[in-house]
Amino acid sequence: MTTQVPGGDDGDEVTIRPAERVDLLAVVRIENASFEQPWPYDAFDRFLGEPGFLVAVTDGAVAGYVVADVTSKFGRELGHIKDIAVHPDRRGVGVGSALLSRALAVLAARGADSVKLEVRRSNDGAKRLYREFGFEPLRRVPGYYGNDEDAIVMLRKLD
């Protein structure tokens, strides 16, 4: 699916599609540029074929990705946004929003009635993005990240 990036020029089209093996090196490069404790290659490899592992392509190159899945818990289907990042040079033009929007649609189609995610307490940009998408802070998990930083768990109900 190709979407016009909100606020972008005519050339700023983003295609969101399922991730393929050929995308993984670019995904890992973006991951390494985005996080202090990046996922290794194998972690992404394991999610190939998962409908919620999507990449955003702009100008023929991977500009970002999202990894999301659904698990059954107490008879309910819970969606989980596990990882999302956009190449540092491509941020701020709507790629992250396009990825999140498609991931939520995939999770809804797979029967999720709510979606959770964890975000670093200090990650104000990501928290703002999630709030724009209707996520509400649910609880704080002290020392969740390797550097002892707290995570904020955020939750959004799906219709």
Comparing CB distances to ligand COA, the nearer of 61 and 72 is 61
> Closest Cα to residue 62, out of 33, 40, 36?
33
CB of 32 to ligand COA, least distance (A): 11
In angstroms, give the least distance from the CB of 39 to ligand COA: 11
Q: Rule CB under 6 A: which residues touch ligand COA?
A: 34, 84-86, 91-97, 119, 123, 125-126, 128-129, 132
**Whole-number minimum distance, CB 145 to ligand COA, in Å?**
10
Contacts of 142 (CB under 8 A, 6+ apart): 150
In the bound state with ligand COA, the residue whose beta carbon lies nearer, of 129 and 138, is 129
For residue 91, the minimal CB distance to ligand COA (Å) is 3
CB 30 to ligand COA: min, Å: 7
Q: Distance between CA atoms of 78 and 132, rounded to whole angstroms?
A: 20
Nearest residue relative to ligand COA (C-beta): 96
Residue among 111 and 131 whose Cβ is closer to ligand COA: 131
